[in-house]
């Protein structure tokens, strides 16, 4: 079967691999759609933490079951997606119901080879029934679950202002689920095209471009001087993350969904006087995946909104680098097998 491997930063190569055979507790899936996410792009750039090359990328998947033990409740031919965070089940996080931050986690397409190949073998325990959802929809469940988890971490309450910094695919998902939770969403980004997308497609009322206007003053105007009670970073940009500590209301919660390799730099007195709460948000849980799939089925989220680019698997190598350029307007690139 064909596979695409990222050999090192900036380098892809198509290779031939043997088709996997199902072992006990595993299922063989035919990959139908692959969503390209920030993790994949950062891996190609060489800026992704927790990464070792060479690696087959891809963990946003819509698949068809081709081999599975029927006693598992899954059947050959059905549509599925998967929770691509394989946890140990034994560490303190797993014992406390937090498999998304397992101490020995293996993320599909990051720590172990992922879905950029024709067939994959995965634990049945990671599968989710897709029902009548399309393969496109199933491939978008995982990135939206990241956003849903960030909102759940923040404990967003109806009526409070939620500042989401970064209007990439993850940030957009955070905005969607912030809205579903009843929050009044504010989008911040330096890319005007993405801010327009937020206004036109997601109906976000307030947008801020900090390169064109004073972010702090604009936030005061929007919130009647209070500042946002929830701030969520989805940029993974060190400068943006550090700057956002000053965007918090007194008593606010700041959730880091984006990830970067550097250090957090914060004025302790500014943070302390707010009695602020700082949290990270990693991956997502079954609860978040279920929430996303139910939201899709109930038409609270339209996955088709996100797909701006589409290529065949054979075209990924030639197109991938172009998806890094903001000028190309990529929100979500979808690969068809």
Rounded Cα distance, 295 and 289, in Å: 10
Q: Taking all residues of the chain, what is their mean pLDDT, rounded to a whole number?
A: 95
What letter does residue 245 receive in the DSSP assignment? G
Rounded Cα distance, 200 and 216, in Å: 24
- pLDDT tens figures, 12-47: 999 999 999 988 999 999 999 999 988 899 899 888
Q: What token pair was written down for 53? A: 């090359």
Rounded Cα distance, 323 and 326, in Å: 7
- The rounded radius of gyration (Å) of the Cα atoms in the chain is 20
- pLDDT tens figures, 258-284: 988 889 999 999 999 999 999 999 999
Nearest to 127 by CA among 112, 117, 141, 116: 141
* Inter-CA distances, 294 with 8, 130, 179, Å: 38, 11, 15
Distance of alpha carbon 142 from the chain centroid: 6
Structure confidence at residue 151 (pLDDT): 98
The residue ranking higher by pLDDT, 49 or 311, is 311
Structure confidence at residue 47 (pLDDT): 81
187: left (phi over 0), alpha (psi -120 to 50) or beta: beta
- pLDDT tens figures, 211-258: 999 999 999 999 999 999 999 999 989 999 999 999 999 999 999 999
Q: What token pair was written down for 247? A: 């965007």
Structure confidence at residue 282 (pLDDT): 96
Structure confidence at residue 52 (pLDDT): 87
Structure confidence at residue 39 (pLDDT): 86
Residue found by looking up tokens 């720590």 in the block = 111
Q: What token pair was written down for 97? A: 């119901």
- pLDDT tens figures, 126-173: 999 999 999 999 999 999 999 999 999 999 999 999 999 999 999 999
Nearest to 179 by CA among 300, 316, 264, 2: 300
pLDDT at 303 over 90: no
Instruction: State what percent of residues in the chain have pLDDT above 90.
Output: 91
Structure confidence at residue 13 (pLDDT): 96
Rounded Cα distance, 180 and 302, in Å: 13
33, 61 Cβ separation under 8 angstroms: yes
| Domains of the chain: residue spans and CATH | 2-132+306-336 (3.90.180.10), 147-280 (3.40.50.720)
pTM for the full predicted model: 0.94
Counting Cβ atoms within 10 Å, is residue 17 exposed (0-12), middle (13-18) or buried (19+)?
middle
Counting Cβ atoms within 10 Å, is residue 194 exposed (0-12), middle (13-18) or buried (19+)?
buried
């Amino acid at each position: 079967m064909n596979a695409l491997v990222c050999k090192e930063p900036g380098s892809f190569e198509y290779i031939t691999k043997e088709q996997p055979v199902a072992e006990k507790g595993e299922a063989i899936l035919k990959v139908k759609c692959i969503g390209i996410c920030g993790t994949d792009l950062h891996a190609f750039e060489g800026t992704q933490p927790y990464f070792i090359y060479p690696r087959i990328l891809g963990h946003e998947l819509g698949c068809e079951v081709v081999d599975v033990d029927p006693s598992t409740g899954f059947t050959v031919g059905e549509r599925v997606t998967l929770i691509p965070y394989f946890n140990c089940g034994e560490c303190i996080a797993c014992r406390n119901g937090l498999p998304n931050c397992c101490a020995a986690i293996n993320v599909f397409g990051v720590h172990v080879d992922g879905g950029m190949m024709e067939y994959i073998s995965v634990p049945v325990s990671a599968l989710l029934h897709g029902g009548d959802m399309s393969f496109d929809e199933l491939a978008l469940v995982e990135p939206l679950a990241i956003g849903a988890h960030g909102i759940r971490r923040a404990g967003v309450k109806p009526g409070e202002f939620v500042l989401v910094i970064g209007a990439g695919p993850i940030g957009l998902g955070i905005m969607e689920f912030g809205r579903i939770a009843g929050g009044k969403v504010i989008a911040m980004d330096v890319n005007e095209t993405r801010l327009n997308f937020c206004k036109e497609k997601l109906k976000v009322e307030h947008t801020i471009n900090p390169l064109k206007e004073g972010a702090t003053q604009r936030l005061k105007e929007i919130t009647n001087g209070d500042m946002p009670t929830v701030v969520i970073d989805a940029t993974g940009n060190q400068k943006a993350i550090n700057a956002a500590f000053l965007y918090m209301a007194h008593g606010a919660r700041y959730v880091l969904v984006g990830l970067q390799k550097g250090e957090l730099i914060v004025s302790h007195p500014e943070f302390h006087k707010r009695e602020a709460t700082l949290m990270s948000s990693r991956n997502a849980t079954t609860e978040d995946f279920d929430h996303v799939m139910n939201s899709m089925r109930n038409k609270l989220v339209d996955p088709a909104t996100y797909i701006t680019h589409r290529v065949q698997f054979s075209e990924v190598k030639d197109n991938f680098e172009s998806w890094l350029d903001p000028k190309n307007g990529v929100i979500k690139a979808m690969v068809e097998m």
